[in-house]
Amino acid sequence: MSKDDARNRILDAAGPVFAAKGYRAATVREICEKAGMNVASVNYYFGDKENLYVETIKRVRPPRIEEKLQGAWSTETSPADKLRDFIHAMVRALCGAEMFPWLPELLKREIANPTPACEGLLQEPFFANFDLLQSILVEILPPDTPPHKRHQIAFTVIGQCVHFRVSRKIAAMLIGSDEFEAHYGPDEVATHISRVCLAALGLAPPIVEPGRKRDQV
């Protein structure tokens, strides 16, 4: 087995374990066992556990929304459509339909309790996504909107996307798992968030179905 093979086998095993249990509770013994390697191999290939964790995160660069969809936009794409696309891409990314199904869980942990060693690694994609969202909002908002308001709106958008992912368990508990499985797929969630945000920004009618409203003032 080549050196890189061994490294990758350990990294492949480490990702899910770190994601499932967190840095501290994950043990190198379990990781090595799942990788079919000896306990000492982590230290041989990565020096120590912490560096293995850093390398694990380095390998799975968090998704950059920009790369996924900005190519699909033309100059005539409306800001509203861009915002919709952004939200859909973000929700999908957070739900983890990608190569590493455990990545969202790991990101969740890093968002809630950042590991000092990895703060820098995760900053970059966060900044990139945040900037992309802001560039969309700049197109939507009046030119003299103060930056802090634009930022707050950006957090409103991102916050909902993140929350629908992070609070899965509690959400399922509150509404029952039947309804959860029926109505909280990525597309439905993204559509809901898009409607809320576009309505709040005045780019779409309020989210109550038109003509059904009880008493419109």
Partner DNA sequence: CATTGTATCAAACGAGTGTTTTAAGTCAAT
Partner DNA sequence: ATTGACTTAAAACACTCGTTTGATACAATG
Q: How far apart are CA 23 and CA 58, in angstroms?
A: 15
Q: Is 75 in the site for a second copy (CB under 8 A)?
A: no
Stretch that binds a second copy, among 22-30, 42-50, 58-66, 94-102 (CB under 8 A): 22-30
Q: Is 64 in the site for a second copy (CB under 8 A)?
A: no
- Provide the token pair at 36: 């079919």
Q: Is 147 in the site for a second copy (CB under 8 A)?
A: yes
Applying CB under 8 A, among 67, 98, 179, 187 the residue interacting with a second copy is 179
Closer by beta carbon to DNA, 41 or else 194: 41
Which does residue 53 touch among a second copy, DNA, none (CB within 5 to 8 A, set by kind)?
none
Residues 48-107 interacting with DNA (rule: CB under 7 A): 48-50
* CA-to-CA separations, 68 to 71, 93, 164, 190, in angstroms, rounded: 7, 10, 21, 16
Closest CB 49 distance from DNA, rounded Å: 4
Quickly count: other Cβ atoms within 10 Å of residue 30's Cβ.
15
**CA atoms lying within 13 Å on the CB side of residue 180:** 13
Q: Is 126 in the site for a second copy (CB under 8 A)?
A: yes
Residue 46 buriedness (CB in 10 A; 0-12 / 13-18 / 19+): buried
SS3 call for 44: helix
SS3 call for 102: coil
* Number of residues this chain uses to bind a second copy (CB under 8 A): 63
Closer by beta carbon to DNA, 22 or else 79: 22
Closer by beta carbon to a second copy, 73 or else 155: 155
* Number of residues this chain uses to bind DNA (CB under 7 A): 19
Q: How far apart are CA 53 and CA 18, in angstroms?
A: 8
* CA-to-CA separations, 130 to 95, 103, 137, 171, 172, in angstroms, rounded: 18, 19, 10, 26, 28
Q: Is 42 in the site for DNA (CB under 7 A)?
A: yes
Q: Using CB under 8 A as the criterion, which residues of the chain lie in contact with a second copy when the complex forms?
A: 22, 24-25, 108-109, 111-114, 119, 123, 126-127, 130, 141-145, 147-149, 151-153, 155-156, 158-160, 162-164, 166-167, 169-171, 173-175, 179, 182-183, 189, 192-193, 195-197, 199-202, 205-209, 212-214, 216
